[in-house]
Amino acid sequence: MTNPRITFDQVAKAYGNFRVIEDLSLTIEAGEFISLLGPSGSGKTTLLMMLAGFEDVTSGAILLDGRRIDALPPYRRDMGVVFQSYALFPHMTVAGNVAFPLEMRGAARGEIAERVRRALDMVQLGALAERHPHQLSGGQQQRVALARALVFEPALVLMDEPLGALDKQLREQMQLDIRALHRRLGLTIVFVTHDQSEALTMSDRIAVFDRGRIEQVGTPREIYDRPATRFVAEFIGETNLLAGTVRADDGRLAAVDVGGGRSLRVASGAPVYGVNTGFGKLA
């Protein structure tokens, strides 16, 4: 990492004797789109909520640009948050919802109007500024939530399953829209999802979670092609596991006996899962 924006240093979260996050360390680079991917209950949303300040850290430290922030209240962390539920104020117009973070920060009225206009144009909703949330589609409401998270130009944007309530076609379109905004604005985005295809499509890097730990961090290609653990191999993409025994290895390719007189040749160092070898790396 050449320009770390966020650092989790041995962060843990416990509710009584139940530990949700286990001494987790992770660095996120400025301008990076990183997805926290894993099944329900794996700890990814809890980590995001600790980063946002909505959950306390049991132990460890969270740093933003080298400055410790885990003791700061949410409003002092300069982060935009987008939730799956949109969390829009039903009594406010679209413009009013987007203006809210600026009003809470005491921005001048003229500045608010201009920044709201720019934010709505950015998500292609400028013509709907005076509508109320109930007059919008699900995708339009999610765009309003995104504009509200971006309007005050936060240091980073946190997204917790933001597309989970949308239908397939709209979800895929929003994936492209969010990715385009990320590239155009140079945002740092931390994106929580349980959808493997969503993470593979959108991310610069993926952190795969299981039971409060990170199983692997890497690019989508690295995660897909070279899973580091059996869990990652089974969770990402189509599972293709064969039990076998390594019979020979020349340092470049290895011969694996898979039974029935059949053998495979695989790259040295590839993950191996087998009843005779257990899990390991080819030497």
Low-confidence ranges of the chain (pLDDT < 70): 1-2, 237-242, 269-283
Q: Strand 18-29: give its sheet, edge to edge.
A: 18-29, 4-15, 59-64, 67-68
Containing 98, the helix (H) or strand (E) segment is: helix 94-104
Q: What is the DSSP string of 204-261?
A: SEEEEEETTEEEEEE-HHHHHHS-SSHHHHHHSSS------EEEEE-SSEEEEEEETT
Please give the pLDDT value at position 272.
54
Phi, psi of 178, rounded to the nearest 5 degrees: -65, -40
Q: Choose among 131, 133, 134: nearest CA to 145.
A: 133
Which domains, and CATH codes, for the chain?
4-234 (3.40.50.300), 242-281 (no CATH)
Residue-wise pLDDT tens digits, 102-130: 998 899 999 999 999 999 998 889 999 99
How many Å apart are CA 137 and CA 10, to the nearest integer? 41
Please give the pLDDT value at position 277.
38
How many Å apart are CA 16 and CA 150, to the nearest integer? 36
Please give the pLDDT value at position 27.
96
Give counts: helices (H), strands (E), the chain: 8, 15
How many Å apart are CA 243 and CA 258, to the nearest integer? 6
In 10 A of CB 147, how many CB atoms?
27
> Which SS3 state, helix, strand or coil, does residue 70 take?
coil
Please give the pLDDT value at position 192.
96
